[in-house]
Chains A and B, each alone.
Chain A
């Protein structure tokens, strides 16, 4: 009757990889929409381009590796990685920048290690860091949010920018360093925080517009927690790490060190806490390990922001913590049943 030996359990699994990935995509929507609202359609163009390129890369490499293509494409992991990568880019980026970044994300970040589940480093962060180091000019040309400049690029302008041979200088008036960058530069020039904060790019707590985007990521993060797609350990520890460090130094000297809320609501801390550091493949797996891992990232983000060479440090912090994961996992093994 039964020729193949099938092992119990004989129940259909309740979770599906694809469903988990879909939950992540759903959770990304509020933040992505807030991002596009403040910075224009370039954000969406980046995401669409990145996802398309990622699917092409994924299919091509799977074919080369003689692996089944459709089941892997259908798990949406490539879509999630590409989406997260696209969110790291400046809102207006030429198509080739997206192509190169996604190429590194999918090939060097993921498939060279053996594909989904085998990569030690967060693929999206690998792609982003490669671009950041290789194309510093393109990667640091950010634009003002609509709430500051009063306008965003139209869809046609954004498309022209992405695909046309348009000089960046044309929209110079709109381009600007990110709030984090401004703080860093200013502190380097011995201008006090309170003086910089009078610049129009700053809102109540962090960068204008950026605060709302952070809120969007936060809502998405809550959705992930509610659907039990992720667990609380990493986000809580990461945010705790950033806030803890920021509070400590803010109390020491508020004129040199920005407020904890500014650090929380600027840059990629919130999306990093809920979406990037929680990538299960590259994160620690034990509960205790996840707390250590999250906290380590939080502390590293602050260190890189304040004393490092880059205005934001989420990508580097995540990659550095990825390296420590085997060690963390080894030393945080839980006590098994019956063990003293």
Chain B
């Protein structure tokens, strides 16, 4: 009886030490789940998910506060990736937050109308608008994420969202349609 108690206590103590050591030795900095979720989000920083950027939305998903289907720019592909990361069900994109576009948008400033107020520059989450006060502004198309955040502040409505230019390199081979179709129909 005494021996059993001693043995169990010794084992408990030993494992406790091992676990304690492991906790210190293999300590994980930050919250890797948030990083992983953030890595899957498209980083448009558009706020359509109602959070002020992709990382806050990632944090909300990680804490279970937000569902995974609120990101229109990412669309179904992002939802599928998130579902597989978090091992949850794949949801349909919530239409309340917007609709997914196959071709991403890019902002274009009508340079004739622009008055150089710099409001759009301040609104751009990725610093993709170039210009100075009272000088014409322009969008660096390559850096633009198509978030539309520059539209509301513009006092003269000179910014348009147009589909980004697709070159022949952006063309994708499509899979033979029949079988997938057959599977979906079944």
Task: Tell whether any CB of A sits under 8 Å from a CB of B in the complex.
Answer: yes
* Residues of A participating in the B interface, judged by any CB pair closer than 8 Å: 5, 7, 65-67
Q: Report the bound CA distance from A7 to B175 in whole Å.
A: 10
Residue from B173, B174, B186 having most chain A Cβ neighbours under 10 A: B186
CB of B102 within 8 Å of the partner chain: no
- CB-CB under 8 A from B96, the residues of chain A are none
Q: Considering only CB atoms, which chain A residue lies closest to B171 in the complex?
A: A5
Contact (Cβ within 8 A) A65 B174: no
Q: Is A66 a contact partner of B185 (Cβ separation < 8 A)?
A: yes
Asked if A5 and B185 sit within 8 Å, CB to CB, the answer is: no
B170 CB to nearest A CB, Å: 15
Binding site secondary structure of chain B: loop
Contact B173 A67 (CB under 8 A): no
Shortest beta-carbon distance from A2 to chain B in Å = 14
- A76 shortest CB reach to chain B, Å: 21
Please encode chain B, from 161 to 177, with 1 for each CB lying within 8 Å of some chain A CB and 0 for all others: 00000000000011010
Whether B174 lies near A5 (C-beta < 8 A) is yes
The answer, yes or no, to whether B182 is at the interface (CB within 8 Å) is: yes
Closest to A4 in B: B177
Q: Are the C-beta atoms of B174 and A67 separated by less than 8 Å?
A: no
**Contacting pair A65 B186 (CB below 8 A):** yes
Q: Who on chain A is nearest to B183 by CB?
A: A114
Please, which residue of chain B has its CB at the minimum distance from the CB of A65?
B186
Size of the chain B interface, CB-CB below 8 angstroms = 6
In the assembled complex, how far is the CB of residue A140 from the closest CB belonging to chain B, in whole angstroms?
40
Q: Are B173 and A66 neighbours in the complex by a CB distance under 8 Å? A: no
Contact A7 B186 (CB under 8 A): no
Complex CA–CA separation, A181 to B5 (angstroms): 57
CB neighbours (8 Å) of B176 from chain A are 7
* Complex: chain B residue closest to A5, CB-CB: B174
Shortest distance in angstroms between B56's beta carbon and chain A's nearest beta carbon?
Answer: 40
User: How many Å lie between the Cα of A104 and that of B173 in the bound state?
Assistant: 41
Cα distance, A68 to B18, chains bound together (Å):
62
Write out the residue numbers on chain A whose beta carbons fall within 8 Å of the beta carbon of B173.
5, 7
Find chain B residues with CB under 8 A from A67 CB: 182, 186
- Kindly list chain B residues whose C-beta atoms are within 8 Å of the C-beta of A66: 185-186
Whole-angstrom CA separation of A200 from B173 in the bound complex: 68
**A residues within 8 A CB of B182?**
67
Give the distance to chain A from B178, nearest Cβ to Cβ, in Å: 10
Q: Return the chain A residue nearest B177 by Cβ.
A: A4
The 0/1 profile, CB within 8 Å of A marked 1, for residues 97-115 of chain B is: 0000000000000000000
Per-position 1/0 for B32-69, Cβ under 8 A of A: 00000000000000000000000000000000000000
List A contacts of B174 (CB < 8 A).
Answer: 5
Rounded to whole angstroms, the CA-CA distance of A67 and B179 in the bound complex is 11
> How many whole Å from B141's CB to the nearest CB in chain A?
29
> Could you pull out 9 A-B pairs where Cβ atoms are within 8 angstroms?
A5-B173, A5-B174, A7-B173, A7-B176, A65-B186, A66-B185, A66-B186, A67-B182, A67-B186
